[in-house]
Amino acid sequence: MNQALEALHFGFRAITAHPDERLGALGYSRVHHRILYFIGRNPGCSINELLGIMRVSKQYLNRPLRQLVEDGYIQTRKDRQDRRVKRVKLTRKGQRLEEALTGAQREQLSQVFRKAGPRAEAGWRKVMALLADMEIERSG
């Protein structure tokens, strides 16, 4: 189990190194990247939907989301049916940043999956899904 934990630690460090460097230069952190990523996958979602997708609290999201809006990476608009609901999407600037951050990670995963082979990739995906399920059960 220690070897698995060490592999997880070093693998996570390897996959976050490039984005962390870029984010640090902007005065941002990993939470900013997560927000960009999930809004990029769910354009037009409401703030409440984003909270559910990310499984985080309003407090966790508030400040970094506000920064990204103020800096022009995310656009907000009121919902047409319910003016109390705020919808979010990436601006072009936000799309470029998200692609630069996540694109590097996609390329890393693509390279290691090619080297490891399809069975190893399937095993990794299963382990990650089971870990995610455990987190959902714990927080649910």
Per-domain boundaries in the chain: 2-139
pLDDT confidence band for 140 (50 / 70 / 90): low
State the chain's mean pLDDT as an integer: 94
In this structure, the dihedral spanned by the alpha carbons of residues 58, 18, 10 and 124, taken in order and rounded to 10 degrees, is 70
Q: Which amino acid is at 53?
A: I
User: Residue 136: pLDDT above 80?
Assistant: no
pLDDT in tens, 59-117: 999 999 999 999 999 999 998 888 889 999 999 999 999 999 999 999 999 999 999 99
Task: Calculate mean pLDDT across residues 36-65.
Answer: 96
Specify burial of residue 52 (Cβ count, 10 A radius: 0-12, 13-18, 19+): exposed
The pLDDT value recorded for residue 47 is 95
Q: Is it true that domain 2-139 has CATH number 1.10.10.10?
A: yes
